[in-house]
């Protein structure tokens, strides 16, 4: 039996962007149904176990008001329910993990608690319905509009069809795009297509995508043995070394992303060496009263467990599952290597006290609920952001392009991890940038489907700076507001962009909702 549901806005995918989109549409008084494949909504923040990557000015400006509210709710969660030290509890900018990568690193389940508390008023009123454990199955298209999307329950196989005036694709891989027959791009474009200095010097490669990573959480219990069972692919990964890598992947050595020179890492803090332990630490035990935590907790999302042996988008299902399993085996092999064979500064080998923390990830096997996807299908958009829009080499003191149809801002360097075609890091500077409305609008005739996360009109290159947490949140929030605004005005999103008066009204709404449209000079 195929169950049916109706909404004003259907959000397919509970990613960072999907969660922000759902709340934005609800704030506008719309009835929203949010579908998510995993048990947790929140994508990178929760089910993928990726602590936020943020820019230097995040506490002052450079993100939306609701994203800042989310960050403060995370801090409130720890202040309210955890025995912080007297010093830590009064820190206005509390950073629970004191990670290198973020000004507010935290556990995935703390992010989930903060998100669900923000969603609670809409859920309790009946305006927002959240259904987890559902995967997109099919799409019904009536002319230039999508009339319904069918999803399958991963628990019991039930089919559910949702109908709505607007659908937002907030899946991690842009799963709705091929089903809705919306033209999209995957992989790497060529210089002849985009003119980008760092694009491929040759034909485009649709299979050239960034590595995926299956993250996991660990702590360290000195003197104890928490060694896992030897992974079935350990012998392969123990010896594996890519042609572009300076050592075996399971080692303390990898390329420096910007220079590609070999860099030696340390696990725990040691002198001037880069500490992988502190890199993505989500709990700094020193911030809590003695005994609250037996150890720090850190997330392993390192060069050592980036998986690039093949793409997981637009490949046969058997191949996709093989690569997803490969990413899992690599992560388990990294943990086993660290527990048993990793060189130590004291001349010994292995840290058997490293303990996998399934509770932190909300899974049985200890790995994140979902592999971390850096690169999605990307719509062929009315406007595609290219490297020249935000490169200091091309823009200089002008700053990044200030689009007349700006719907937000972001800041992060262009950060491309090794790719499935065997290319090494591409890590280059970018200017604080803007998000044009045009990159949310498919160039196709379909006018009621919008991207809401990493599936916007960027290139392989610019995806490297538009894929981070605050930017994805901004994209999703703007998409949710755009759907609601279009419903209220009775016009298409394309007309919002093309009609100067309507665009001005929409941008006023964005400003009222706390979305910054331009960086200060």
Mean pLDDT of 52-81: 96
pLDDT of the residue at 479: 98
Angstrom distance (rounded) from CA 217 to CA 282: 9
Average pLDDT, the chain: 97
Confidence of residue 191 (pLDDT cuts 50, 70, 90): very high
What domains lie within the chain, and their CATH numbers?
2-188+374-512 (3.50.50.60), 212-361 (no CATH)
Question: Model's pTM, two decimal places?
Answer: 0.97
Percent of the chain scoring above 70 in pLDDT: 100
Under DSSP, the state recorded for 76 is H
Residue 389 φ then ψ, to 5°: -70, -25
pLDDT at residue 445, rounded to an integer: 84
Report the alpha-carbon distance of residue 79 to residue 371 in Å, rounded: 30
Q: Is the pLDDT of residue 521 over 90?
A: no
Q: How do 32-36 and 128-132 pair as beta strands?
A: parallel
pLDDT at 95 over 70: yes
- pLDDT 10s digits, 286-324: 999 999 999 999 999 999 999 999 999 999 999 999 999
Structure confidence at residue 1 as a pLDDT band (50, 70, 90): low
pLDDT tens-digit readout, 387-442: 999 999 999 999 999 999 999 999 999 999 999 999 999 999 999 999 999 999 99
- Please report which residue ranges of 82-107 form alpha helices under DSSP H: 86-89
- CA 324 to mean position of chain CA atoms: 17
Q: Are 146 and 448 in contact (CB under 8 A)?
A: yes
Q: CA 366, CA 211: separation in Å to the nearest integer?
A: 21
What pLDDT is attached to residue 485?
98
Question: Are residues 383 and 457 in contact, defined by beta-carbon separation less than 8 angstroms?
Answer: yes
Q: Given pLDDT bands bounded at 50, 70 and 90, which one contains residue 2? A: confident
Structure tokens at 432: 């604080």
Tokens read off for 447: 């006018």
Q: What is the pLDDT of residues 359-382, one digit of tens each?
A: 999 999 999 999 999 999 999 999
């Amino acid at each position: 039996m195929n169950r049916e549901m109706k909404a004003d806005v259907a959000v397919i995918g509970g990613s960072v962007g999907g969660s922000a989109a759902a709340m934005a549409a609800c704030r506008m008084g719309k009835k929203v149904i949010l579908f998510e494949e995993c048990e947790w909504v929140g994508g990178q923040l929760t089910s993928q176990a990726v602590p936020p990557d943020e820019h230097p000015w995040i506490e002052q400006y450079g993100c939306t008001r609701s994203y800042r509210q989310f960050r403060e709710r995370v801090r409130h969660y720890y202040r309210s329910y955890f025995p912080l030290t007297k010093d830590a509890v009064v820190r206005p900018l509390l950073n629970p993990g004191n990670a290198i990568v973020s000004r507010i690193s935290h556990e995935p389940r703390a992010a989930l608690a903060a998100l669900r508390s923000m969603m609670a008023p809409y859920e309790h009123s009946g305006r927002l319905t959240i259904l987890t454990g559902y995967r997109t199955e099919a799409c019904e298209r009536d002319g230039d509009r999508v009339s319904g999307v069918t999803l399958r329950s991963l628990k019991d196989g039930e089919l559910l069809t949702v109908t709505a005036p607007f659908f937002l694709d907030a899946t991690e891989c842009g799963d709705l795009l091929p089903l809705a027959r919306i033209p999209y791009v995957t992989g790497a474009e060529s210089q002849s297509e985009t003119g980008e200095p760092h694009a491929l010097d040759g034909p485009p490669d649709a299979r050239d995508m960034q590595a995926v990573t299956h993250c996991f959480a660990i702590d360290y219990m000195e003197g104890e043995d928490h060694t896992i069972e030897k992974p079935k692919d350990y012998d392969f990964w123990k010896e594996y070394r890519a042609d572009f890598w300076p050592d075996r992947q399971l080692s303390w050595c990898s390329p420096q992303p910007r220079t590609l020179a070999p860099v030696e890492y340390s696990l725990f803090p040691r002198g001037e060496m880069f500490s992988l332990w502190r890199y993505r630490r989500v709990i700094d035990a020193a911030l809590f009263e003695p005994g609250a935590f037996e150890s720090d907790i850190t997330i392993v999302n390192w060069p050592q467990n980036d998986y690039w042996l093949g793409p997981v988008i637009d490949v046969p299902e058997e191949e996709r599952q093989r690569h997803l399993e490969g990413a899992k085996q690599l992560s388990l092999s990294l943990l086993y290597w660290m527990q048993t064979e990793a060189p130590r500064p004291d001349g010994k080998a292995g840290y058997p006290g490293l303990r996998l923390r399934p509770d932190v990830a909300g899974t049985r096997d200890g790995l994140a609920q979902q592999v971390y996807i850096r690169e999605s299908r990307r719509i062929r958009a009315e406007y595609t952001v290219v490297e020249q829009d935000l490169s200091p080499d091309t823009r200089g003191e002008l700053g990044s392009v200030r689009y007349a149809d700006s719907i937000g801002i972001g800041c992060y360097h262009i950060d491309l991890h090794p790719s499935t075609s065997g290319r090494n890091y591409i890590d280059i500077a970018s200017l604080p940038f803007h998000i044009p409305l045009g990159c949310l609008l498919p160039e196709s005739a379909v006018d009621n489907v919008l991207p809401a996360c990493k599936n916007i009109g960027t290139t392989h290159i610019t995806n490297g700076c538009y894929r981070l947490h605050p930017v994805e949140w901004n994209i999703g929030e703007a998409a949710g507001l755009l759907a609601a605004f279009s419903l209220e005005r009775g016009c298409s999103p394309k007309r919002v962009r093309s009609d100067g008066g309507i665009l001005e009204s929409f941008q006023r709404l964005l400003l009222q909702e706390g979305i910054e449209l331009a960086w200060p000079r």
